[in-house]
Structure 1
């Protein structure tokens, strides 16, 4: 076995800082020494100090917070033996069930506060400082529970997907099932327009509630009788139509605030210019009406009409 004294300096530094976290010298949300402080305290190069802190980050013991530095992410999930001489029999206990419940409850409070902020002011308004202010707690205390905005966004998305009420007995026909799935998803985006900012067709989050909806949706498509590849394409096309149309919801709200005009009023105001510039297009009515929900429904009908044609072709083949 390799003696601890022969370990590279960055590992010895990482272990000493980790020991301070385990013993409570550094608590959740506390700042740990900066790269410059580590270099000065342990007498090493800044590259070695950087490597030590990055080791702790990769182990999940600290997180890097912009303009603040590295802060403690939380205790380890499992008991860890105490390495110091004279304490061979001691271990750091795993968090109790009550502590885990309290931690989960606090995380849920943070996520719910973030959702409330996003619903009211958009995703750009969500920040650790804003959440902490709304909850009346120190900003630094959040970093021991949430590792940053990326993790927060994933938790927000999964939480709102948990609002979906999926029927135990869906409609019998494939078309009615897809219409239901699309409308459930559309209503979710209407209630939370910021959600389009943090959900991706190409990089979906493997989180429980989102996976449950995706699994339910794919099972819906399978009753179409299409081959698996075609069925996946149909489902992705439906999801993309909903999400793509929903990207306009947040923009519409911002434009209404900026201009003071609804979409119908905007079209009415600019109708003469539209007619002049679109002379080769179909004649525009005296009054143009544009409603995103109606547009979503019209697009869904066109999409499912195309699916119906594809199903008919495959059955005839």
Structure 2
């Protein structure tokens, strides 16, 4: 092993930070994105750094927090499965753990293989490639929140229930939103079950095909957009160490300088009003607007159909 290899030098530096107490148990070590920026290396090198630290028993992957320094009283996990133990289930669990910790961008066939302690080519016996892997990851986590066998009697109750279910999944794992393509949807059983539920609720309302699809797609778009914002916020918090509120406070002087020009009186007025952005409130607000719009359309077209 070449001790002068870039990844080895980075490993040594992070190892030294841990040894000196600059990184304590539970502290997050630099993410792969931070490593690429701080040391000017490729993502593959950054991935190898994390893998090496994990193999040495120095770090753990913690969902929602990234890779953290291992507690001294926690024994290392076995990372070298026998080939016969490797299957789609184990691969998906490893890939989901990576996405939970570091986001979808960190998921690659090489990274999953590294975390499992196996050769990258071994994964292709169970998944055809990265796209197939991502699709089955999303389908698996959507199955964690199941729709009831008997839907509510009213169409609006059905759509509220299914939308809240999908939001719950995306709230827990925002990276799922990256797989929910609006223009190139992919077919898997659990994703299709959600679509079937929504379209079935709309089918008996006398709506045209375009209305049915556009209502469904607008609901998905609303949820997906919020989840992508949540994913971006999680990534920025990990990278900067600042909460959204803390980051906004750093922009206060710049905001004040711009509005002082007098071109944005409404923004200047609103800046003095108390407002706390809450994505859960925003989800419910947007869901209500979409469904209120559908209900008004039904009322107009059916001449007084009410809930």
Q: Normalised by the shorter chain, which TM-score bucket?
A: 0.5 to 0.7
Residue from 107, 110, 114 that aligns with 2:88: 107
- C-alpha displacement at 1:103, in angstroms? 8.5
In structure 1, how many angstroms separate the alpha carbons of the residues matched to 2:141 and 2:182?
17
- C-alpha displacement at 1:162, in angstroms? 2.0
In structure 2, how many angstroms separate the alpha carbons of the residues matched to 1:167 and 1:158?
17
Indicate the residue corresponding to 1:306 in structure 2: 293
- Asked whether the 8 Å contact 2:142–2:169 carries over to 1, the reply is yes
Deviation sequence 1:106-158 (CA, Å, 0-9, x none): 01211121111111111111122221222222223222322221121122122
In structure 2, how many angstroms separate the alpha carbons of the residues matched to 1:264 and 1:175?
35
In structure 1, how many angstroms separate the alpha carbons of the residues matched to 2:202 and 2:85?
35
Q: How many residues align?
A: 216
- Asked whether the 8 Å contact 2:175–2:227 carries over to 1, the reply is no
Indicate the residue corresponding to 1:117 in structure 2: 98
In structure 1, how many angstroms separate the alpha carbons of the residues matched to 2:158 and 2:193?
16
- Asked whether the 8 Å contact 1:264–1:288 carries over to 2, the reply is no
- Asked whether the 8 Å contact 1:263–1:289 carries over to 2, the reply is no
**Does the C-alpha gap of structure 1 residues 173 and 104 become closer, same or farther in structure 2, counting only changes over 3 Å?**
farther
- Asked whether the 8 Å contact 1:221–1:231 carries over to 2, the reply is yes
- Asked whether the 8 Å contact 1:263–1:291 carries over to 2, the reply is no
- C-alpha displacement at 1:293, in angstroms? 1.6
| SS at 2:266 equivalent | coil
Q: Which moved more, 1:214-223 or 1:108-117?
A: 214-223
In structure 1, how many angstroms separate the alpha carbons of the residues matched to 2:122 and 2:86?
14
- C-alpha displacement at 1:166, in angstroms? 0.4
Deviation sequence 1:175-199 (CA, Å, 0-9, x none): 2211111111111111221112222
> Pairwise mapping of residues 39-78 of structure 1 onto structure 2 (< 5 A)?
none
Indicate the residue corresponding to 2:76 in structure 1: none
Listed as ranges, the gaps of 5+ residues in structure 2 are 1-82
**Does the C-alpha gap of structure 1 residues 143 and 124 become closer, same or farther in structure 2, counting only changes over 3 Å?**
same
Q: What is the TM-score when the length of structure 2 is the normalising length?
A: 0.63
Indicate the residue corresponding to 1:294 in structure 2: 281
> Pairwise mapping of residues 156-305 of structure 1 onto structure 2 (< 5 A)?
156-271=137-252, 273-274=254-255, 276-277=258-259, 278-281=264-267, 282-305=269-292
In structure 2, how many angstroms separate the alpha carbons of the residues matched to 1:115 and 1:266?
29
Deviation sequence 1:190-211 (CA, Å, 0-9, x none): 1221112222121111112211
| SS at 1:298 equivalent | helix
**Does the C-alpha gap of structure 1 residues 257 and 204 become closer, same or farther in structure 2, counting only changes over 3 Å?**
same
Q: Which moved more, 1:141-150 or 1:102-111?
A: 102-111
In structure 2, how many angstroms separate the alpha carbons of the residues matched to 1:161 and 1:261?
30
- RMSD (CA atoms): 2.5
- Asked whether the 8 Å contact 2:103–2:235 carries over to 1, the reply is no
In structure 2, how many angstroms separate the alpha carbons of the residues matched to 1:123 and 1:187?
18
| SS at 1:167 equivalent | coil
Q: What is the TM-score when the length of structure 1 is the normalising length?
A: 0.62
Q: Which moved more, 1:281-290 or 1:136-145?
A: 281-290
Indicate the residue corresponding to 1:145 in structure 2: 126
Deviation sequence 1:71-125 (CA, Å, 0-9, x none): xxxxxxxxxxxxxxxxxxxxxxxxxxxxxxx999701211121111111111111
Deviation sequence 1:212-231 (CA, Å, 0-9, x none): 22111211222444333322
- Asked whether the 8 Å contact 1:263–1:290 carries over to 2, the reply is no
In structure 1, how many angstroms separate the alpha carbons of the residues matched to 2:84 and 2:287?
42
**Does the C-alpha gap of structure 1 residues 312 and 272 become closer, same or farther in structure 2, counting only changes over 3 Å?**
farther
